[in-house]
Amino acid sequence: VQLQASGGGWVQAGGSLRLSCAASGRIYGVTAMGWYRQAPGKQRELVASITRADTTNYGDSVKGRFTISRDNAENTVFLQMDSLKPEDTAVYYCNANIRSSLMTPSYNIFWGQGTRVTVSS
Measured distance CA(1)–CA(23) in Å, rounded:
7
Q: Where are the beta strands (DSSP E) in 39-103?
A: 45-50, 56-58, 66-71, 76-81, 90-99
Compute the average pLDDT of residues 12-37: 98
What pLDDT is attached to residue 59? Answer: 98
pLDDT in tens, 26-78: 999 999 999 999 999 999 999 999 999 999 999 999 999 999 999 999 999 99
What pLDDT is attached to residue 95? Answer: 98
Residues in contact with 79: Cβ distance below 8 Å, sequence separation at least 6, in sequence order: 7, 18, 19, 21, 35, 47, 48, 66, 67, 68, 92, 94
% of the chain residues with pLDDT over 90: 100
